[in-house]
Chain A
């Protein structure tokens, strides 16, 4: 008895490793395809010529000097949070609680501004704001890490829940600090004295965030690639057993890395509150904690590449929000476009790691079975 087996039409082969330029070429193709699909969707929704739509996106993102600065500011904050979650991800610790850690940092710095605003010299106050914000973010980040290290509690779900706990604590303080009473928001903190506001560099409110983000990018790049800590993180991420075998204390690395990750998120919160917004509410982080996960992963945890991935997402979201304003659509249009682009980039990673080989068409199926 001979059972006929058919060779499948397609089978998947793992690639050795692609040269970097071919990998990036595949990604570029994916982005172009995504942009094409975005154009089709936009045209269907607005009835406009796609070129017109792209012109609007471009104008919305970098049309004026002011818009460029807002783009840079958004980019800086998103980049900060993405850099913050990266060490944890490299360790395979899925910290999707960046939202909560940023809020914790923001809350601590807002508290310093409100409560100590007029009692301390501004220099001391600024230092205190930074310290408090960073410490609050670090504490918020380290709580799930301690449980992960000690009892192996699922960190994805734990950090996710911590987001909402943080959001509600902020909502609580927003009502406690309401001004004017009954308005439901805090309003600008210390509007006259400007106590606890970061100084503007060269008269530009956004430059500081950009500089901090640039410094952080370099720091995280060197920390991950050239420090002993970074090496330990990589080993723990690749194989926990190997790490234990070579004598790395995995628990200590987990806790230390999450302290850092939370602290950097806290710093982003400080930048938002003391640097630009000078107020606080529970949607301050605006979903960027989740976007950061995607930015970091799309960049393959490479801090330099993260500049480009976060730029792409911020650019599209600023541009799409202009499209929705101009064509009278809902602001959420940008989330749809962002979603499409991310789906394409996620999908294209497959073609970088694997190769499809098709069944040879000339051969008969019976031959394949007999061969």
Chain B
């Protein structure tokens, strides 16, 4: 039988990077930008955080590190890195009106390459003499848990055994859902994604909304990469370890039919599906485990097909998703 007390926390930590990615991508897609570069952006966010804290750990001995800086430096460099990627995407697709799919894929190629390159060469480039990037001191700050969590038995394990970035992910998702659904800004943003012509005619600055939504979305997604490396992977960077989680985050956007608050539980479900193969009894048949790994993708396809078949208006992708907006071509 599935051991829920050990399964749920592992599903949650798998789900948190996906939650960041999908919240970011949902905000982006609501503005009509289909940012397929999210996978690359998450890599860049992760590696920028790693570079920041690597330099800090090299400069200062572990005993003298200050908590605020140890958390703040990677956090800020991660946000800055992913913001730059978001700006690049916006500049190409919104200002230069390039094709969104191509730009996104190029961003992914670039971002994954950027992450792996600096991950693999950082030690050589900075001329330091450590065998591998293991940011254990920084990890200590990121993965710090509530002191009484371990005393609360299964409750503590399931609800309180995570670092602060995990709770931040849930908060961001809920705030994003609130802003999108209940505020005027959210209404304007959705209008831009559904029908930029109408939004423009109503006096909404389409470019501004697209830029803002995409950049904020990128920064949120970048945090997912940071969480992965600093907390989940215990501060150890290894190339390609992040894998295809970025694409899974895009799948999650569809799965939650563009609702970030649904993303909270769905991301944990996806995280669970992602590691289900470890927990299912398959005996010695290793091959079947590979088939279980495709579950999240198959589920996404089924959701995609069902939403398109039912054709309910509130469950559809933003109507102008993937299309550039030219005011002159109205």
Contacts and interface: CB of A to CB of B under 8 A. Distances in A.
Contact of B109 (A45, A156, A290, A331): A290
Contacts of A346: 92, 96, 98-99, 102-103, 106
Given A290-B108, A330-B120, A332-B116, A172 B290 contact: yes
Contacts of B288: 172
Nearest to B119: A330
Nearest to B106: A342
Most chain B CB neighbours (cut-off 10 Å) among A14, A171, A173, A353: A171
A216 to B, nearest CB: 22
A96 B105 contact: yes
B109 A342 contact: yes
A312 B140 CA distance: 46
Contact of A161 (B88, B304, B317): B304
Nearest to B317: A154
A147 interface: yes
B297 A330 contact: no
Contact of A165 (B36, B98, B294): B294
Nearest to B300: A161
B328 to A, nearest CB: 6
Contacts of B286: 175
B56 interface: no
Nearest to B299: A161
Contact of A339 (B36, B109, B244): B109
A350 interface: yes
Q: Is the interface of B mostly helix, strand, loop or mixed?
A: helix
B304 A153 contact: yes
A291 to B, nearest CB: 7
Interface residues of B, number: 56
A335 B98 contact: no
B287 A328 contact: no
Given A169-B294, A293-B102, A333 B92 contact: no
B291 interface: yes
Nearest to B124: A328
A293 B99 CA distance: 11
B65 interface: no
A175 B110 contact: no
| Category for how many chain A residues contact B | 35 or more
A350 B301 CA distance: 35
Interface in B108-150: 108-121, 124-125
Contacts of A96: 36, 101, 105
Contacts of A227: none
B290 A293 contact: no
Interface string B42-65: 000000000000000000000000
A175 B284 CA distance: 12
Interface string B76-118: 0000000000001001100011110111011111111111111
A330 B116 CA distance: 7
Contacts of A154: 254, 304, 308, 317
A168 B294 contact: yes
A339 B114 CA distance: 9
B304 A330 contact: no
The 8 closest A-B pairs by CB, nearest first: A335-B113, A339-B110, A330-B120, A168-B294, A332-B116, A350-B96, A175-B287, A153-B308
16 contacts: A94-B322, A96-B105, A154-B308, A157-B254, A160-B36, A161-B298, A164-B297, A168-B294, A291-B109, A293-B105, A330-B119, A332-B115, A332-B120, A333-B117, A335-B113, A354-B97
Interface of A: 12, 14, 45, 94, 96, 147, 151-154, 156-158, 160-162, 164-165, 168-169, 171-176, 287, 290-291, 293-294, 297-298, 328-336, 338-340, 342-343, 346-347, 349-350, 353-354
